[in-house]
Amino acid sequence: MKVVVIQGPNLNMLGIREQNIYGPMKLEDIHSQMEGYAKQNGIEVEFFQSNLEGEIVDRIQECIDDAEGIIINPAAYSHTSIAIRDAISAVRIPIIEVHISNIYAREEFRHTSLVAPVCTGQISGFGPFSYHLAMIAISQILSEVRAMKESQNKQPAE
């Protein structure tokens, strides 16, 4: 089972920028914790970060043949990118949208996520722990998908 974690713009600055909102933890530390969970649960995890919308769209599209699930923090693109929304909609695999801060308790322009309606679910507001919750959610969803496929393959043809 492979999960790709896609990080949007400015997330490479975690631990430096706006620690009062995002905390002191660096992106590498978050990824390290996610890797620990992945190893314990037999999940292959790959990380990708870009400040460029087109690169994020490309990586989402590559997941069609490369991954069973995606965890994505589109960051500011959550509120502006129809291109990322369309890419998410096209891949048709489970996708969890993640935000470190509670986007609904911040500036009004952050209250609308264009990608949320085409994601399997959204987790926000739990700080870096949001990523751990996303790993739990995606592993559960992928286990259920796998069990459903196995069940369908065992049913006799009519």
Range of the domain at 36: 2-154
pLDDT score for 156:
66
The residue behind tokens 């609904």 is 104
The Cα 34–Cα 5 span in angstroms is 9
CATH code of the domain covering residue 131: 3.40.50.9100
pLDDT score for 158:
58
The pTM for the full model equals 0.91
pLDDT score for 25:
85
- How far from chain centre, in Å, is Cα 24? 21
Total count of domains within the chain: 1
Which tokens is 10 given? 């400015």
| pLDDT averaged per 10 residues, the chain (length 158) | 96 87 88 96 97 98 96 96 98 96 84 95 96 97 89 73
Question: Exposed e or buried b for every residue in 7-24, given b needs 16+ CB within 10 A?
Answer: bbbebbebeeeeeeebbe
pLDDT score for 17:
84
Residues recognised as catalytic: 22, 99
